Structure formats: C-alpha cells, structure tokens
Amino acid sequence: MRQASNAVRAMRGFTLTEILIVVAMVGILASIAYPSYQNYIQRANRADAQQVLLQAAQQAERFFASNSTYVGFPLAPFDRSPESGTAVYTMTATSAANSFSVLATPASAGVNAKDGCLQITSTGAKTWTGKRTSTGCGSTYDKTWSDRE
C-alpha cells in the first residue's frame, strides 16, 4: 500500500504555483530581450543603408569619371535598402555638374520609422539628422554617421 501512494505522488506533475513562476520568469526575460533585439535590428538596418549609400556614391563617381558631370547619374539599383524585400530606407539623389548628394529616408512604418535620414555628398561628408520627427527628417545634418545613438 505504501508503494502505491509513493507512485501516485511521483506522477502528480507540476503545481500551478510552479508553472506561474516559470511563466513570470519567461515574461521578465522577454521584456528585457525584446527591446535589445529591436535596437539591434535598427542598427543593422542603418548599417545596410550606409553601405548602399556608399555604393551609390561610388556609382556617381564612376559616372563622373566617364561623363565629367554628375547630372543624370543612375541611382538604380542603389535606390533602396535592402536591395530586395521590403524597403526599410529609400534613396533619393540630387546632382549638379560638380556635386551630388544621396539621401536615405527611413520608411514611415517599421523599426527605423523614427530614425533620422542619412546623407552622403560628393565631398565625402557622411551626415545624419538624428531622430526623425512627424514632419520628416528636417534639414539640419549636423551629426556624422559615427554620432549615431
């Protein structure tokens, strides 16, 4: 008889209190890990946009070497970041005979939506507007790419 009651106790399983403690611990860990993950994704998207901007600048310089002007240099395939899938940043270019600038604007939805615009110019200046506001990126490019938050 005594062995039967020990076997029943061994097969009881977890108590509700034990399960609630585990669920609470998982919730606490997730609340810490998720913001870090979002920050990592934002930085990775920004780094990819910077790489695409550098490629666009190289393409503009190659165009200038062949044509002696930046006017009309083709931005494609460097008109978005990432190059395939859903665009996180869109690139736009402005050019004159002896200068150009390429601007990366974050998409209005997603992790980088409130991130600032990135810009590269023909002088090699790599600037960033900081945080994006509801009215857009603004016009003050007073931070370098290394000043990112």
pLDDT digits (tens, 9 = 90+) for 72-105: 888 888 888 888 888 899 998 988 999 999 999 8
User: What's the pLDDT tens digit per position in 121-145?
Assistant: 999 888 887 666 666 676 666 677 7
Q: How far apart are the first and last CA of the chain?
A: 69
pLDDT (0 to 100) of residue 84: 83
Query: Span 15-26, mean pLDDT?
Result: 93
pLDDT (0 to 100) of residue 127: 87
CATH topology of domain 2-147: Glycoprotein, Type 4 Pilin (3.30.700)
pLDDT (0 to 100) of residue 111: 83
Question: Alpha-carbon distance 83 to 3, whole Å?
Answer: 68
User: Domain coordinates of the chain in residue numbers?
Assistant: 2-147
Q: Is the pLDDT of residue 7 over 60?
A: no
pLDDT (0 to 100) of residue 143: 72
User: What's the pLDDT tens digit per position in 23-62?
Assistant: 999 999 999 999 889 889 988 998 999 999 999 999 999 9
Radius of gyration of the chain (CA): 26
Query: Quick one: pLDDT band at residue 6, thresholds 50, 70, 90?
Result: low
- Nearest in space to 57 (alpha carbons), one of 141, 131, 125, 149: 125
Q: Are 133 and 117 in contact (CB under 8 A)?
A: no
pLDDT (0 to 100) of residue 63: 94
Question: Alpha-carbon distance 147 to 149, whole Å?
Answer: 6
| Two structure tokens written together for 138 | 């603004």
pLDDT (0 to 100) of residue 25: 94
Place of tokens 């506001």: 133
